[in-house]
């Protein structure tokens, strides 16, 4: 039973009512007989048993969303913005509790969890502001009596599917632009981390976001939920963050109804350090971009390419830093690396490291599992392109260092994957920065920084990393339809 641990978690919260285990379905809090078990990845303890929704629940939520959306879209942008702003303020004032819930179910260190809550809230704030700037256009008519207007209108009912690695922010990044644009949204969070999603909508309800406009439906049957989202004609758009594999499934399933799709999929980020780079900054950048969330983000560095002149110094310095990192339970003060999300995630990381070592990689730091689902932060050098770690997303705390000689070679190697999400370059040469920015086939390029995520910039990938953008003024486009009206103006008599 979840009783003991659930009680302990509630006791840690200033506002225990944020720990909601019912689904938010069509304006009501809904409990089911079958439940989803939510476990703490640091201990394996059963934290809570959450409502387990099915396809019929999704259909009901979509219908309620259709009704609520019409009224929501009819409100002025300012009215919508005021409610969203209130929701943002509630997220901030409850950030500590939201962070505790997040760490409990997902495992990341508490400080990172708090950072994620603020990051998620920043999208709510940003899109509350942008709601008022959905401008249309006028175009000079093509004939004397013609006038052309361009309107931007909400797409309607949106379905969202989110992953476990940022259980708050990935949902906030979809809810916020959808609501700002005048859409309604039905979301299915990841089965591992439904509590953060539900807590977010508890606060949305308190802020006065209308009933039925947002539903959050945890479900153990992701396939059936995805099918309902793709096959229900009321759903006009699907926004998905997760694996490229599931992105493909949704694209295929959505084809019949030509569903609009925003897809934030996998990555395999290169991190390129030239001989002329600032070594300290490059090592810090690698730590930030590789080890955040124990390496479990889609923008995490997966391949570190270091030019031969700086290679040994960089590898040695990085290994020293990584060996000092503290791993453990995310709830404990000072923890930098929390547990991985599951046994399967741990097994993948182990397999990648083993494969690399068998093919000649050198272990410079870490290696091996610790208690529970912890994997020690690890550095490997002499990694080469035929190793699994070079081709697949590792999604764990393993820094894999490759050696390179020329700029041309490294660009070729960096681009030789099917993904195109984030990339990073460290160099002090201005012209090279510019060349790299243009040459890398990635949706995002960090130059001399390992941290690129912000609500003011368009986050998203190219190639098999997806389509659509989240954040920035471009982020609203994904939730708007463009329509033009051609007016014939009779000349005055
Ligand atoms: P990850 O490897 O990060 O778990 P997934 O793509 O498997 O990535 O999961 C991301 C989200 O997609 C989760 O909410 C999961 O439940 C959901 N999901 C998994 N399979 C499907 C599917 N066939 N249809 C719709 N959603 C799915």
For residue 101, give the nearest of 231, 9, 29 by alpha carbon: 9
Edge-first strand listing for the sheet containing 480-488: 137-140, 146-154, 480-488
pTM over 0.95: yes
Q: Looking at residue 3, what is its pLDDT?
A: 75
| Tokens at 84, concatenated | 């969203």
- List phi, psi (to 5°) of 333: -55, 135
pLDDT of 493 reads: 80
Is residue 224 lining ligand 1, measured as CB closer than 6 Å? Answer: no
Strands 269-273, 301-307: pairing is: parallel
> Which of 187, 242, 250, 294 gets mutated to test ligand 1 (max ligand atoms within 8 A of its CB)?
242
Ligand 1 midpoint to CA 249 (Å): 10
Q: How many other CB atoms are found less than 10 A from the CB of residue 222?
A: 15
At residue 4, the pLDDT reads: 80
CA of 451 relative to ligand 1 center, distance in Å: 26
DSSP β-bridge partners for residue 36:
50
User: Residues 406, 412: contact at Cβ < 8 Å?
Assistant: no
Q: What is the pLDDT of residue 372?
A: 85
pLDDT means over runs of 10, the chain (493 residues): 82 97 97 96 93 98 98 98 98 98 97 98 98 96 97 98 98 98 98 98 98 98 98 98 98 98 97 98 97 95 97 98 95 95 94 96 95 94 94 93 98 97 98 98 98 97 98 97 96 84
DSSP state of 459: B
Tokens of 390: 């070079």
Query: Residue 186 gets which letter from DSSP?
Result: E
Around 204, how many Cα atoms within 13 Å sit in the side-chain half-sphere?
29
User: CA dist 411 to 51, 272, 281, 397, 408, Å?
Assistant: 48, 9, 21, 24, 5
How does DSSP classify residue 470?
Answer: B
Q: Provide the pLDDT for residue 365.
A: 97
């Amino acid at each position: 039973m979840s009783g003991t641990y659930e009680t302990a978690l509630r006791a840690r919260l200033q506002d225990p009512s944020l720990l909601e285990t019912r689904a938010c379905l069509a304006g009501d809090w809904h409990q089911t007989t079958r439940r989803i078990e939510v476990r703490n990845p640091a201990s394996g303890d059963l934290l809570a048993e959450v409502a387990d929704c099915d396809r019929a629940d999704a259909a009901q939520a979509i219908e309620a969303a259709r009704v609520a959306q019409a009224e929501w879209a009819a409100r002025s942008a300012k009215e919508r913005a005021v409610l969203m702003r209130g929701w943002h303020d509630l997220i901030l004032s409850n950030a500590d509790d939201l962070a505790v819930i997040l760490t409990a179910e997902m495992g990341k260190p508490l400080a990172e969890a708090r950072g994620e809550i603020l990051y998620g809230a920043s999208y709510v704030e940003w899109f509350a502001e942008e709601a008022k700037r959905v401008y249309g256009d006028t175009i000079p008519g093509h004939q004397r009596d013609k006038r052309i207007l361009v309107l931007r209108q909400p797409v309607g009912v949106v379905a969202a599917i989110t992953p476990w690695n940022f259980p708050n922010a990935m949902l906030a990044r979809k809810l916020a632009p959808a609501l700002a644009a005048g859409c309604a949204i039905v979301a299915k969070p990841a089965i591992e981390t439904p509590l953060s999603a539900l807590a977010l909508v508890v606060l949305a309800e308190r802020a006065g976001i209308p009933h039925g406009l947002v539903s959050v439906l945890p479900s153990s049957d992701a396939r059936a939920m995805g099918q309902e989202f793709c096959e229900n004609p009321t759903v006009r758009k699907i926004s998905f963050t997760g694996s490229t594999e599931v992105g493909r499934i949704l694209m295929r399933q959505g084809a019949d109804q030509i569903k609009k799709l925003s897809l934030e999929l996998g990555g395999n980020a290169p991190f390129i350090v030239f001989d002329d780079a600032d070594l300290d900054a490059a090592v810090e950048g690698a730590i930030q971009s590789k080890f955040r969330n124990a390496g479990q983000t889609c923008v995490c560095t997966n391949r570190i390419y270091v030019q031969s002149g700086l290679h040994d110094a960089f590898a040695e310095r990085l290994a020293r830093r990584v060996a000092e990192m503290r791993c453990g339970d995310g709830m404990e003060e000072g923890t930098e690396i929390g547990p991985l999300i599951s046994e399967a995630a741990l097994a993948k990381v182990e397999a990648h490291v083993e494969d690399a070592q068998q093919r000649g990689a050198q272990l410079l730091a870490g290696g091996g599992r610790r208690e529970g689902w912890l994997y020690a932060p690890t550095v490997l050098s002499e990694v080469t392109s035929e190793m699994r770690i070079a081709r697949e997303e590792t999604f764990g705390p393993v820094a894999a260092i490759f050696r390179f000689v020329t700029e041309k070679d490294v660009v070729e190697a960096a681009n030789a994957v099917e993904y195109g999400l984030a990339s990073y370059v460290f160099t002090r040469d201005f012209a090279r920065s510019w060349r790299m920015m243009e040459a890398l086939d990635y949706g995002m390029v960090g130059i001399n920084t390992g941290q690129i995520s912000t609500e003011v910039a368009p986050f998203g990938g190219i190639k098999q990393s997806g389509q659509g953008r989240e954040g920035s003024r471009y982020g609203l486009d994904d939730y708007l339809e463009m329509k033009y009206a051609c007016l014939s103006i009779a000349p005055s008599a």
